């Protein structure tokens, strides 16, 4: 039975959630880059003075939120609370102490009450450029990937470090966007601090210790209870993805015990000399998210619930790459991890777990005005300089009791960027954006469809594409007899096939054509509801051939 104190704490907990959500929405409204403003590629949260996360905003991505959850302790190791002052703001883009690659900046702001530090706000976003080779996995070590900013004091007592800002502006291709985004991070933390102060005034709180311990303790207990409703044991699963020069094997052993969930990635392929390696914090983020999608999905995300899932990976395997390994495109492999986790959990309760999906985002990374080997430098010098990322997704795997979602970015959660927005930000024209027929894996429950996107330079100038694509050679597998999803493909309208990864030339006047992967199906396609098959056929989601051969749908006989 709940006491008046319990109810009071719950009300304050809900209020705290609204505080961090306003923090995140402030970041969305003030950010300059489309990644944050349009796609929601960000995170925001509030932490106890010891660095434990109490609450996170609903708006954001698992890769940012769950890795940022562990980053504040690194800031406190560099700048203890006693070294912080009102108006201070701290920053880093350290991939191993932030959220996994140099394009992500994490800002931390201490909150003071009556002269004492009582909380910290943290936020993260992806800046459009950080220098170096640019977007893509071409680098062979971190030093090629751009400007590396260790944990530093970005602002001291309310005054931004002008020298640091000059240094950043001088090392990026889009200085206005990047500087605007960094100020947005500072502002959103400040708004969070102001709203927290108002909340504490209203509830007459001098600190957050009691509330924080309640939140973290209740969340941990609830997560342990959810875990204990599952059988005890260890289950193993492997998945092969395309990799850069050769395939990558992801291997996991998942153990469920009374003390929580243990994930061990022993047997996973070694790190490589390309930027598809994953720092351990990013591995932790998406692995724990995969568990939480199935076990304890309705339990709030904070230090308590996250601590119940523990992850191990051999040093310098591709899921625990240490410096100086390149990690720019860590999301290619990192976002595959929920599917690996699902493969383990499917062995325990197959009716509660989705099939594999596209998982890897097929973001369209284009740049103009940048010379590239094999092209006439004069053509690029004459063309407009731009750098753009258009978030683009494939289909999810079929879900328990439901078809997969088409053109939906799971597990990242970012929104597809509207082409109209991209066309206002860069000299690009999107000629086509449509579902790809037959790309969803056939099954009693059909996989989600991928999409076909065709884009060109508006003035016919050459461009550079930074490809970060997977599931071309190894598509998403179906489950329980369901078919694999359609494989992805990347080529030019002129017919030239593009590599799945790396910077490549789009010649003047040509167009990029991408077909994103589809999700796997669940169950025998012949057992699919006949009305659902007919509806898919009417809507152009499947072809007549697929209806006849995969789903065994017989054409209507004339009366």
Burial of 232 (0-12, 13-18, 19+ CB in 10 A): exposed
Q: Would you say 519 and 404 are in contact if contact means Cβ atoms under 8 Å apart?
A: yes
Query: 188 lies in a domain?
Result: yes
The domain containing residue 473 runs over which residues? 354-559
Does residue 287 form part of some domain? no
Closest CA to 190 of 210, 232, 160, 215: 160
**Within-domain flag for 279:** no
Closest CA to 362 of 399, 395, 397: 395
Contact status, residue 334 vs residue 99, Cβ threshold 8 Å? no
Task: Give a yes or no: residue 47 inside a domain.
Answer: yes
3-state secondary structure of 464: strand
- The pLDDT, as a whole number, for residue 359 is 95
Q: Which of 171, 194, 219 marks a domain boundary?
A: 219
Q: Are 418 and 40 in contact (CB under 8 A)?
A: no
**Per-residue pLDDT, 257:** 98
Q: Which of 200, 219, 238 is the last residue of a domain?
A: 219
DSSP notation for 192-207: HHHHHHHHHHHHT-S-
Residue 299 in any domain: the answer is: no
Last residue of one domain, picked from the residues 165, 197, 219: 219
Contact 70, 36 (CB under 8 A): no
Q: What is the pLDDT of residues 493-542, one digit of tens each?
A: 999 999 999 999 999 999 999 999 999 999 999 999 999 999 999 999 99
Q: Where are the alpha helices (DSSP H) in 247-365?
A: 280-294, 303-306, 331-334, 337-346
| Whether residues 211 and 358 fall in one domain | no
- Count other C-beta atoms under 10 Å from residue 255's C-beta: 17
In this structure, is residue 321 part of a structural domain?
A: no
Residue 243, domain member (yes or no): no
Structure tokens at 84: 């912080």
Contact present, 486 and 446 (Cβ < 8 Å):
no
Tens of pLDDT along the chain (559 residues) come to: 567 677 889 999 999 999 999 999 999 999 999 899 988 899 999 999 999 999 999 988 888 888 998 999 999 999 999 999 999 999 999 999 999 999 999 999 999 999 999 999 999 999 999 999 888 899 999 999 999 999 999 999 999 999 999 999 999 999 999 999 999 999 999 999 999 999 999 999 999 999 999 999 999 999 999 999 999 999 999 999 999 999 999 999 999 999 999 999 999 999 999 999 999 999 999 999 999 999 999 999 999 999 999 999 999 999 999 999 999 999 999 999 999 999 999 999 999 999 999 999 999 999 998 776 666 766 666 678 898 999 999 999 999 999 999 999 999 988 888 899 999 999 999 999 999 999 999 999 999 999 999 999 999 999 999 999 999 999 999 999 999 999 999 999 999 999 999 999 999 999 999 999 999 999 999 999 999 999 999 999 999 999 999 999 886 643 3
Query: Can you give the pTM of this predicted structure?
Result: 0.95
Overall domain count for the chain? 2
How many helices (H) and strands (E) the chain has is answered by 15, 19
Q: Hey, what are 508's tokens?
A: 């003047």
What is the separation, in whole angstroms, between the first and last Cα of the chain? 66
The answer to whether residue 333 sits within a structural domain is no
**215 and 363 inside one domain:** no
């Amino acid at each position: 039975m709940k006491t008046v104190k319990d109810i009071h704490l719950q009300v304050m907990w809900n209020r705290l959630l609204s505080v961090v959500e306003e923090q995140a929405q402030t970041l969305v409204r003030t950010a300059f880059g489309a990644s944050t403003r349009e796609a929601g590629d960000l995170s925001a949260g509030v932490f106890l003075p010891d660095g434990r996360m109490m609450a996170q905003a609903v708006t954001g991505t698992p890769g940012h939120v769950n890795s940022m959850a562990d980053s504040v302790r690194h800031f406190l190791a560099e700048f203890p609370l006693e070294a912080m002052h009102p108006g201070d703001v701290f920053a880093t883009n350290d991939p191993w102490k932030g959220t996994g690659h140099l394009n992500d900046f994490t800002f931390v702001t201490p909150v003071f009450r009556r002269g004492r530090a009582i909380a910290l706000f943290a936020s993260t976003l992806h800046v459009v450029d950080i220098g170096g080779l640019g977007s893509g996995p071409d680098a062979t070590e971190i030093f090629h990937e751009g400007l590396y900013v260790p944990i530093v004091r970005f602002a001291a007592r309310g005054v931004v470090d002008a020298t640091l800002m000059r240094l950043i502006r001088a090392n990026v291709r889009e200085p206005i966007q990047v500087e605007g985004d960094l100020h947005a991070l500072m502002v959103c933390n400040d708004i969070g601090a102001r709203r927290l102060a108002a909340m504490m005034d209203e509830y007459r709180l001098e600190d957050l210790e009691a509330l924080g311990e309640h939140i973290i303790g209740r969340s941990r207990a609830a997560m342990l209870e959810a875990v204990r409703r599952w059988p005890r044991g260890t289950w193993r699963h492997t998945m092969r993805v395309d990799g850069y020069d050769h395939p990558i094997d992801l291997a996991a052993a998942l153990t469920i015990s009374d003390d929580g969930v243990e994930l061990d990635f022993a047997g996973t392929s070694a790190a490589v000399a390309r930027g598809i390696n994953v720092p351990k914090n990013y591995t932790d983020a998406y692995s724990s998210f995969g568990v939480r999608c199935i076990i304890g999905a309705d339990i709030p995300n904070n230090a308590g619930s996250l601590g119940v899932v523990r992850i191990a990976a051999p040093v310098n395997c591709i899921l625990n790459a240490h410096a100086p390994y390149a990690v720019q495109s860590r999301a290619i492999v990192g976002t595959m991890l929920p599917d690996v986790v699902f493969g383990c959990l499917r062995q325990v309760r197959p009716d509660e777990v989705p099939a594999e999906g596209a998982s890897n985002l097929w973001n369209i990374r284009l740049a103009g005005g940048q010379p590239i080997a094999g092209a006439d430098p004069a053509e690029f010098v004459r063309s407009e300089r731009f750098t753009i990322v258009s978030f683009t997704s494939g289909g999810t795997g079929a879900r328990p009791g439901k078809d997969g979602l088409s053109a939906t970015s799971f597990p990242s959660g970012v929104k597809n960027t509207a082409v109209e927005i991209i066309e206002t930000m860069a000299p690009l024209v999107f000629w086509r954006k449509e579902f790809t027929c037959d790309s969803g894996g056939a099954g009693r429950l059909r996989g989600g469809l991928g999409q076909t996107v065709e884009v060109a330079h508006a003035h016919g100038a050459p461009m550079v594409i930074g490809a970060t694509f997977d599931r071309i050679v190894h598509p998403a597998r179906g489950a329980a007899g369901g078919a694999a999803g359609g494989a992805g493909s990347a080529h030019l309208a002129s017919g030239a096939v593009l590599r799945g990864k790396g910077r490549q030339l789009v010649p003047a006047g040509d167009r990029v054509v991408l077909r994103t992967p589809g999700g796997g199906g669940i169950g025998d396609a012949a057992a699919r509801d006949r009305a659902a098959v007919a509806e898919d056929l009417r809507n152009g989601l499947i072809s007549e051939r697929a209806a006849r051969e995969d789903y065994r749908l017989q054409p209507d006989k004339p009366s």
